[in-house]
Amino acid sequence: MIKTFSLFTALFFYSFLFAQKEEPQILQTATGKLYGTLVVPDGQRSFDLMILQPGSGPTDRKGNNPLGVNADSYLMLANALARNNIATLLIDKRGIAASKEAGKDESKLVFDDYIKDLEDWAVLLKKEKRIKKLILAGHSEGSLIAMRAAQKVSADKYISISGPAKSIDEIITWQLKQQAPALAPAADSLFKRMKNGEKIDSIPPLLYSLFRPSIQPYMTSWMKYDPCKEIKKKKIPALIVQGTNDYQVQQSEAEHLHGCNPKTSLAIINEMNHVLKRSPKDIDGNRATYTNPSLPIVEQLVTEITAFIKE
């Protein structure tokens, strides 16, 4: 995405013009309350709103995860956007952090639950008279969730951040080929059986965490969605953002996703990794940024998203 000098100047000016404040939000669901934080530009009567769907696993509204992520990436992005007169709704998914009590038994949770929750958040926030444009964004796994939800709630724009172009079974099989190639054929076979509606009872011990019986309904419901096919349905403006140093989602995934729908905008951000921080390419240095909340997110991410929302 090409920027002009005047645009960068304007964004730099806006970043000092607006302060931000946090407003608690609650979404009532059939299984309990979901909690979020609306980060808004303080003192502004109207603003655009981006709802940010978190990535996979127990990732909370700040972008942190008890399995090894303490980076505050989502919160940093929301604060930066607020300084550019863009509000952000940060949410805890059902079963996660403050929304833990609304979580279902793992064996009953399906991918569509997260899609429905995001749709309900959008419907709730669209009632806000301060909001001008509604943008649904998703990070990592959240990219596909937001992609689906945007079709149902008439969002004005859509943003994919570090989102894959392939279905989850293809992604996991590819990752295993890189990290544990001996396990990849068995995983591929199990995924194919699940696609055919089989319940897998006999699971190799080293693959148990991926294919345990309680997670199979979720995985089956997730892999029925192909991001490439879903992005082709997009009629609203869409932005695909990807970092070059993301070892979890390759740059080629973003390029592939853009190729599935050339009408989308593509922003490749040099040296940005999966937690939206500037990092080296080596794995150890890259991973070190995952637990460094003092490290800022990459500034270009903010300018790309701001420019896309405001254009």
Q: What is the pLDDT of residues 170-229, one digit of tens each?
A: 999 988 998 899 999 999 999 999 999 999 999 999 999 999 999 999 999 999 999 999
* More confident: 4 or 223: 223
Instruction: Tell me the mean pLDDT in the region 287-296.
Output: 96
The pLDDT of residue 43 is 85
- Cα–Cα distance for residue pair 155/136, rounded to 1 Å: 7
pLDDT at residue 6 greater than cutoff 60: no
Q: What is the tens place of the pLDDT at every residue in 25-48?
A: 999 999 999 999 999 998 889 999
Q: What percent of the chain has pLDDT over 90?
A: 88
Query: For residue 4, is pLDDT > 70?
Result: no
Rounded CA gap, 184 and 1, in Å?
37
Report the C-alpha gap between 61 and 124 in whole angstroms: 18
Looking at the chain, the whole-number percentage of residues with pLDDT higher than 70 is 94
What average pLDDT does this structure show over 223-247? 96
DSSP secondary structure of 74-103: HHHHHHHHHTTTEEEEEEPPTTSGGGGGGP
Average pLDDT over residues 294-307: 98
The confidence score (pLDDT) of residue 178 equals 85
Q: In what order do the strands lie in the sheet with 265-269?
A: 20-29, 32-41, 86-91, 47-53, 131-139, 157-161, 238-243, 265-269
**pLDDT digit string, tens, across residues 139-153:** 999 999 999 999 899
Q: How confident is the model at residue 18 (pLDDT cuts 50, 70, 90)?
A: low
pLDDT at 104 exceeding the cut of 90: no
Overall average pLDDT of the 48-61 stretch: 96
Q: How far is CA 188 from CA 92, 111, 172, 174, in A?
A: 31, 20, 9, 9
pLDDT confidence of residue 8 = 47
- The pLDDT value given to residue 11: 47
pLDDT at position 112, please? 97
pLDDT at 12 over 90: no
Q: Is 251 helix (H, G, I), strand (E, B) or coil?
A: helix
Rounded to 5°, angle at Cα 248 from 243 and 250: 50
Query: What pLDDT score does 179 carry?
Result: 86
Q: Where are the alpha helices (DSSP H) in 18-93?
A: 73-82
DSSP-derived 3-state class of residue 163? coil
Q: According to CATH, what is the number of the domain 5-166+227-310?
A: 3.40.50.1820
Q: Which residue has the tokens 């609650």?
A: 26
The least confident of 27-36, 54-63, 174-183, 231-240 is 174-183
Nearest to residue 297, comparing CAs of 277, 281, 280?
277
Decide: helix, strand or coil at residue 21. Answer: strand
The two structure tokens encoding residue 266: 């593509």
Averaged confidence pLDDT in the chain: 93
pLDDT digits (tens, 9 = 90+) for 262-282: 999 999 999 999 999 999 999
State the span(s) of the chain assigned CATH 3.40.50.1820. Answer: 5-166+227-310
Question: What pairs with residue 136 in β-bridges?
Answer: 51, 158
Give me the pLDDT at residue 1, please. 47
